[in-house]
Amino acid sequence: MAVRSELPGPALPVVGAALPASVKAGATHVRSALWLARRRGRPDENGLRILLYHRVSDDEDLLAVTPRRFRRQMELIAAEGYDVVSLEMAANLLDAGVTPQRTVVLNFDDGYLDVAEHALPVLEDLGFPATVFLPTGAIDGTSKLSWYRTQPPLLGWDEIGELDRRGTLRFEAHTVTHPNLLALGEDAARAEIAGSKIALEERLGRPVDAFCYPAGLFGRRDRGFVADAGFRIAVSCEPGVNRPGADLLALRRRQIDARDAMLDFRAKLGGGHDSPLPLRNVYRRMRFGERQPDASGRRLAA
Ligand SMILES: [Zn+2]
Protein backbone atom coordinates (compact mmCIF):
# COMPACT_ATOMS: atom_id res chain seq x y z
CA MET A 1 0.00 0.00 0.00
CA ALA A 2 1.32 3.40 -0.88
CA VAL A 3 1.37 5.77 2.04
CA ARG A 4 2.43 9.28 1.43
CA SER A 5 4.22 11.19 4.17
CA GLU A 6 2.69 14.47 5.29
CA LEU A 7 5.73 16.55 4.43
CA PRO A 8 7.53 15.06 1.47
CA GLY A 9 10.82 16.24 0.03
CA PRO A 10 11.45 19.10 -2.33
CA ALA A 11 9.66 17.48 -5.28
CA LEU A 12 6.41 17.87 -3.39
CA PRO A 13 3.71 16.64 -5.76
CA VAL A 14 0.91 18.95 -4.76
CA VAL A 15 1.36 22.00 -2.65
CA GLY A 16 -2.12 22.03 -1.19
CA ALA A 17 -1.64 18.58 0.28
CA ALA A 18 1.38 19.75 2.26
CA LEU A 19 -0.76 21.30 4.96
CA PRO A 20 -1.59 18.75 7.66
CA ALA A 21 -4.34 16.77 5.99
CA SER A 22 -6.85 16.99 8.82
CA VAL A 23 -6.45 20.79 9.10
CA LYS A 24 -6.85 21.15 5.38
CA ALA A 25 -9.88 18.85 5.21
CA GLY A 26 -11.51 20.73 8.10
CA ALA A 27 -10.91 24.11 6.47
CA THR A 28 -12.24 22.77 3.18
CA HIS A 29 -15.47 21.49 4.80
CA VAL A 30 -16.05 24.85 6.54
CA ARG A 31 -15.52 26.70 3.31
CA SER A 32 -17.90 24.39 1.44
CA ALA A 33 -20.58 24.92 4.08
CA LEU A 34 -20.16 28.71 3.78
CA TRP A 35 -20.42 28.44 0.00
CA LEU A 36 -23.64 26.42 0.32
CA ALA A 37 -25.13 28.99 2.69
CA ARG A 38 -24.06 31.93 0.54
CA ARG A 39 -24.98 30.54 -2.88
CA ARG A 40 -27.64 28.02 -1.84
CA GLY A 41 -25.76 25.54 -3.99
CA ARG A 42 -26.02 27.63 -7.16
CA PRO A 43 -22.77 27.24 -9.08
CA ASP A 44 -20.89 30.13 -10.65
CA GLU A 45 -21.23 29.04 -14.26
CA ASN A 46 -19.00 31.64 -15.86
CA GLY A 47 -15.61 30.51 -16.90
CA LEU A 48 -13.63 27.33 -17.06
CA ARG A 49 -12.59 25.25 -14.09
CA ILE A 50 -9.95 22.58 -14.39
CA LEU A 51 -10.22 19.76 -11.85
CA LEU A 52 -6.95 18.08 -10.92
CA TYR A 53 -6.68 14.46 -9.82
CA HIS A 54 -3.75 12.14 -9.23
CA ARG A 55 -4.87 8.62 -8.38
CA VAL A 56 -8.22 6.82 -8.41
CA SER A 57 -7.72 3.96 -5.98
CA ASP A 58 -8.76 2.50 -2.64
CA ASP A 59 -5.15 2.77 -1.42
CA GLU A 60 -4.60 4.87 1.67
CA ASP A 61 -2.95 7.79 -0.07
CA LEU A 62 -3.80 11.48 0.20
CA LEU A 63 -3.50 11.65 -3.58
CA ALA A 64 -6.03 8.86 -4.17
CA VAL A 65 -9.78 9.40 -4.63
CA THR A 66 -11.68 6.12 -4.25
CA PRO A 67 -13.21 4.65 -7.43
CA ARG A 68 -16.69 4.83 -5.88
CA ARG A 69 -16.30 8.50 -5.00
CA PHE A 70 -14.78 9.31 -8.37
CA ARG A 71 -17.79 7.78 -10.13
CA ARG A 72 -20.19 9.81 -7.98
CA GLN A 73 -18.25 12.98 -8.76
CA MET A 74 -18.33 12.34 -12.50
CA GLU A 75 -22.03 11.46 -12.38
CA LEU A 76 -22.71 14.74 -10.60
CA ILE A 77 -20.91 16.62 -13.38
CA ALA A 78 -23.09 14.83 -15.92
CA ALA A 79 -26.30 15.34 -13.93
CA GLU A 80 -25.61 19.06 -13.55
CA GLY A 81 -25.25 19.41 -17.31
CA TYR A 82 -21.61 20.48 -17.45
CA ASP A 83 -19.68 20.30 -20.69
CA VAL A 84 -16.49 18.35 -20.14
CA VAL A 85 -14.06 19.43 -22.84
CA SER A 86 -10.45 18.63 -23.63
CA LEU A 87 -7.74 20.98 -22.43
CA GLU A 88 -7.01 21.92 -26.07
CA MET A 89 -10.66 22.78 -26.72
CA ALA A 90 -10.74 24.85 -23.54
CA ALA A 91 -7.61 26.75 -24.61
CA ASN A 92 -9.18 27.37 -28.02
CA LEU A 93 -12.29 28.84 -26.41
CA LEU A 94 -10.26 31.12 -24.13
CA ASP A 95 -8.07 32.12 -27.06
CA ALA A 96 -11.13 33.03 -29.12
CA GLY A 97 -12.36 35.30 -26.31
CA VAL A 98 -15.24 33.00 -25.41
CA THR A 99 -16.15 32.67 -21.74
CA PRO A 100 -16.89 28.98 -21.29
CA GLN A 101 -20.21 28.37 -19.53
CA ARG A 102 -20.65 25.44 -17.16
CA THR A 103 -17.50 23.93 -18.59
CA VAL A 104 -14.98 21.66 -16.94
CA VAL A 105 -11.65 20.11 -17.88
CA LEU A 106 -10.32 16.98 -16.15
CA ASN A 107 -6.60 16.46 -15.46
CA PHE A 108 -4.69 13.54 -13.96
CA ASP A 109 -1.07 14.17 -12.98
CA ASP A 110 1.83 11.69 -12.98
CA GLY A 111 0.43 8.77 -15.02
CA TYR A 112 -0.68 6.28 -12.36
CA LEU A 113 -1.90 2.91 -13.62
CA ASP A 114 -5.05 3.14 -11.49
CA VAL A 115 -6.29 6.01 -13.67
CA ALA A 116 -6.62 3.54 -16.56
CA GLU A 117 -8.07 0.88 -14.26
CA HIS A 118 -10.63 2.93 -12.35
CA ALA A 119 -11.11 6.37 -13.94
CA LEU A 120 -11.08 5.46 -17.63
CA PRO A 121 -14.17 3.17 -17.54
CA VAL A 122 -16.19 5.96 -15.88
CA LEU A 123 -14.90 8.57 -18.32
CA GLU A 124 -15.72 6.33 -21.28
CA ASP A 125 -19.23 5.63 -19.94
CA LEU A 126 -19.93 9.35 -19.69
CA GLY A 127 -17.99 10.47 -22.78
CA PHE A 128 -15.66 12.73 -20.78
CA PRO A 129 -12.18 13.42 -22.20
CA ALA A 130 -9.22 13.96 -19.84
CA THR A 131 -5.55 14.91 -19.95
CA VAL A 132 -2.85 12.85 -18.22
CA PHE A 133 0.48 14.57 -17.51
CA LEU A 134 3.52 12.29 -17.61
CA PRO A 135 7.01 12.71 -16.13
CA THR A 136 8.77 10.81 -18.91
CA GLY A 137 11.72 9.59 -16.82
CA ALA A 138 9.40 8.12 -14.20
CA ILE A 139 7.54 6.25 -16.96
CA ASP A 140 10.90 5.06 -18.34
CA GLY A 141 11.76 3.84 -14.84
CA THR A 142 14.94 5.95 -14.75
CA SER A 143 13.60 8.22 -12.01
CA LYS A 144 11.25 7.81 -9.05
CA LEU A 145 8.45 9.94 -7.66
CA SER A 146 10.37 11.05 -4.60
CA TRP A 147 7.46 11.47 -2.18
CA TYR A 148 6.58 7.77 -2.20
CA ARG A 149 8.39 5.20 -0.11
CA THR A 150 6.76 2.60 -2.37
CA GLN A 151 5.76 4.14 -5.64
CA PRO A 152 2.36 3.02 -6.95
CA PRO A 153 2.49 1.43 -10.41
CA LEU A 154 2.63 3.87 -13.31
CA LEU A 155 1.36 3.32 -16.84
CA GLY A 156 3.82 1.77 -19.29
CA TRP A 157 4.70 3.19 -22.69
CA ASP A 158 2.79 0.52 -24.63
CA GLU A 159 -0.42 1.24 -22.71
CA ILE A 160 0.13 4.97 -23.04
CA GLY A 161 0.48 4.75 -26.82
CA GLU A 162 -2.63 2.62 -27.09
CA LEU A 163 -4.70 4.79 -24.76
CA ASP A 164 -3.60 7.98 -26.50
CA ARG A 165 -4.81 6.60 -29.82
CA ARG A 166 -8.08 5.45 -28.25
CA GLY A 167 -8.86 9.09 -27.54
CA THR A 168 -10.50 9.49 -24.12
CA LEU A 169 -7.16 10.09 -22.41
CA ARG A 170 -4.66 12.44 -23.99
CA PHE A 171 -1.11 12.40 -22.68
CA GLU A 172 0.95 15.55 -22.23
CA ALA A 173 4.26 16.56 -20.64
CA HIS A 174 5.16 16.90 -16.95
CA THR A 175 9.00 17.24 -17.09
CA VAL A 176 11.37 14.26 -17.11
CA THR A 177 12.02 13.60 -13.39
CA HIS A 178 9.30 15.67 -11.66
CA PRO A 179 11.73 18.11 -9.97
CA ASN A 180 11.00 21.36 -8.17
CA LEU A 181 11.85 23.66 -11.10
CA LEU A 182 12.57 26.53 -8.70
CA ALA A 183 15.50 24.57 -7.26
CA LEU A 184 17.17 23.94 -10.63
CA GLY A 185 19.78 25.89 -12.56
CA GLU A 186 18.87 27.23 -16.00
CA ASP A 187 20.27 24.37 -18.06
CA ALA A 188 18.68 21.72 -15.89
CA ALA A 189 15.28 23.43 -15.88
CA ARG A 190 15.37 23.88 -19.64
CA ALA A 191 16.35 20.22 -20.13
CA GLU A 192 13.52 19.01 -17.87
CA ILE A 193 10.94 21.08 -19.75
CA ALA A 194 12.07 20.66 -23.35
CA GLY A 195 13.31 17.10 -22.77
CA SER A 196 9.90 15.85 -21.72
CA LYS A 197 8.31 17.31 -24.86
CA ILE A 198 10.84 15.66 -27.14
CA ALA A 199 10.62 12.29 -25.37
CA LEU A 200 6.84 12.25 -25.38
CA GLU A 201 6.52 13.34 -29.02
CA GLU A 202 8.86 10.53 -29.99
CA ARG A 203 6.75 8.01 -28.10
CA LEU A 204 3.36 9.26 -29.28
CA GLY A 205 4.28 10.27 -32.82
CA ARG A 206 2.36 13.54 -32.58
CA PRO A 207 3.00 17.09 -31.37
CA VAL A 208 2.76 17.59 -27.60
CA ASP A 209 1.30 21.01 -26.82
CA ALA A 210 0.60 21.03 -23.10
CA PHE A 211 2.84 21.07 -20.04
CA CYS A 212 2.24 20.77 -16.32
CA TYR A 213 4.59 22.39 -13.75
CA PRO A 214 5.49 19.77 -11.11
CA ALA A 215 3.64 20.64 -7.89
CA GLY A 216 2.68 23.87 -9.63
CA LEU A 217 6.07 25.36 -8.72
CA PHE A 218 7.50 27.68 -11.33
CA GLY A 219 8.83 31.16 -11.90
CA ARG A 220 8.87 33.61 -14.76
CA ARG A 221 12.05 31.97 -16.00
CA ASP A 222 10.41 28.54 -16.22
CA ARG A 223 7.34 29.93 -17.95
CA GLY A 224 9.75 31.37 -20.51
CA PHE A 225 11.41 27.98 -21.01
CA VAL A 226 7.97 26.43 -21.52
CA ALA A 227 7.22 29.01 -24.22
CA ASP A 228 10.67 28.51 -25.81
CA ALA A 229 10.12 24.75 -25.95
CA GLY A 230 7.01 25.38 -28.07
CA PHE A 231 4.27 24.48 -25.62
CA ARG A 232 1.01 26.32 -26.21
CA ILE A 233 -0.65 25.47 -22.91
CA ALA A 234 0.67 25.01 -19.37
CA VAL A 235 -1.17 24.33 -16.14
CA SER A 236 -0.32 25.38 -12.58
CA CYS A 237 -1.72 24.30 -9.21
CA GLU A 238 -3.10 27.75 -8.43
CA PRO A 239 -6.81 27.41 -7.74
CA GLY A 240 -9.25 29.59 -9.62
CA VAL A 241 -11.38 30.09 -12.66
CA ASN A 242 -10.02 30.65 -16.18
CA ARG A 243 -11.62 33.29 -18.37
CA PRO A 244 -10.58 34.91 -21.67
CA GLY A 245 -7.34 36.82 -21.13
CA ALA A 246 -6.02 34.09 -18.82
CA ASP A 247 -2.37 33.25 -19.30
CA LEU A 248 -2.49 30.03 -21.34
CA LEU A 249 0.93 29.13 -19.91
CA ALA A 250 -0.33 29.35 -16.32
CA LEU A 251 -3.90 28.04 -16.31
CA ARG A 252 -5.48 27.57 -12.92
CA ARG A 253 -6.60 24.22 -11.51
CA ARG A 254 -8.41 23.04 -8.40
CA GLN A 255 -7.27 19.79 -6.85
CA ILE A 256 -9.84 17.22 -5.78
CA ASP A 257 -8.60 15.66 -2.56
CA ALA A 258 -9.05 12.20 -1.05
CA ARG A 259 -11.00 13.69 1.86
CA ASP A 260 -13.39 15.82 -0.16
CA ALA A 261 -17.01 15.03 0.67
CA MET A 262 -19.64 15.44 -2.07
CA LEU A 263 -20.44 18.93 -0.80
CA ASP A 264 -16.75 19.87 -1.13
CA PHE A 265 -16.76 18.54 -4.67
CA ARG A 266 -19.90 20.52 -5.54
CA ALA A 267 -18.38 23.64 -4.02
CA LYS A 268 -15.11 23.17 -5.93
CA LEU A 269 -17.01 22.60 -9.16
CA GLY A 270 -19.22 25.60 -8.50
CA GLY A 271 -16.48 28.10 -7.68
CA GLY A 272 -16.60 28.02 -3.88
CA HIS A 273 -12.89 27.21 -3.68
CA ASP A 274 -11.48 29.51 -6.33
CA SER A 275 -9.02 31.16 -3.96
CA PRO A 276 -6.30 29.30 -2.04
CA LEU A 277 -6.64 28.56 1.66
CA PRO A 278 -4.87 31.39 3.55
CA LEU A 279 -2.58 28.94 5.33
CA ARG A 280 -1.38 27.53 2.07
CA ASN A 281 0.16 30.85 1.02
CA VAL A 282 1.98 31.25 4.32
CA TYR A 283 3.26 27.71 4.02
CA ARG A 284 4.42 28.19 0.45
CA ARG A 285 6.25 31.41 1.26
CA MET A 286 8.08 29.71 4.12
CA ARG A 287 8.90 26.60 2.20
CA PHE A 288 9.65 27.88 -1.28
CA GLY A 289 10.42 31.55 -0.77
CA GLU A 290 7.51 32.48 -2.92
CA ARG A 291 7.03 36.18 -3.55
CA GLN A 292 3.95 38.27 -3.13
CA PRO A 293 1.81 38.89 -6.20
CA ASP A 294 3.67 40.77 -8.91
CA ALA A 295 2.45 44.02 -10.43
CA SER A 296 0.08 42.20 -12.81
CA GLY A 297 -1.62 40.59 -9.84
CA ARG A 298 -0.53 37.15 -10.91
CA ARG A 299 1.08 35.07 -8.22
CA LEU A 300 4.48 33.94 -9.42
CA ALA A 301 7.06 31.97 -7.59
CA ALA A 302 10.55 33.37 -7.05
ZN1 LIG B 1 2.99 15.69 -10.64
pLDDT at residue 165 tops 80: yes
Give the percent of the chain with pLDDT over 70: 85
| pLDDT tens figures, 260-283 | 999 999 999 998 888 877 666 666
Q: How confident is the model at residue 146 (pLDDT cuts 50, 70, 90)?
A: very high
Q: How far is the CA of 214 from the centre of ligand 1 (A)?
A: 5
Name which residue leads in pLDDT, 295 or 178.
178
For ligand 1, the distance from its centroid to the CA atom of residue 116, given in whole angstroms, is 17
Output the pLDDT for position 267. 92
Q: What is the pLDDT of residues 11-41, one digit of tens each?
A: 455 544 456 788 888 888 888 888 887 878 7
How far away, in angstroms, is 133 Cα from ligand 1 center? 7
- Give pLDDT, residue 246: 95
Task: State which amino acid sits at residue 238.
Answer: E
Dump pLDDT digits (tens) for 192-212: 999 999 999 999 999 999 999
Q: How far is the CA of 178 from the centre of ligand 1 (A)?
A: 6
- The predicted model scores a pTM of 0.86
CA of residue 40 to ligand 1 center, whole Å: 34
Pair 84, 169: CB distance under 8 Å: no
For the segment 113-126, what is each residue's pLDDT rounded down to a tens digit? 999 999 999 999 99
Query: How much distance in Å is there from the Cα of 215 to the middle of ligand 1?
Result: 6
Distance (angstroms) between ligand 1 centre and the Cα of 288 equals 17
**CA 234, 137, 280, 219 torsion-angle sign:** negative
Separation of 239 CA from ligand 1 center, angstroms? 16
The terminus-to-terminus CA distance of the chain in angstroms comes to 36
pLDDT number for residue 18: 58
- Residue 182 Cα, ligand 1 centroid: separation in angstroms? 15
In the structure, what pLDDT confidence band is assigned to residue 178 with cuts at 50, 70 and 90? Answer: very high
Res. 228 pLDDT band, cuts 50 70 90:
very high
Q: Write out the E strands in 135-190.
A: 169-173
Using 50, 70 and 90 to split pLDDT, how confident is the model at 292? very low
**Cα of 177 to ligand 1 centre, how many Å?**
10
Please give the pLDDT value at position 39: 79
Neighbours of ion ligand 1 (CB under 5 A): 13, 109-110
Q: Which segments of the chain are extended strands (E)?
A: 48-53, 55-56, 64-65, 83-84, 103-109, 130-134, 169-173, 210-212, 233-235, 254-255
Please tell me the distance between residue 257's alpha carbon and the centre of ligand 1 in angstroms.
14
Chain mean pLDDT for the chain? 88
Whether the predicted pLDDT of 7 surpasses 50: no
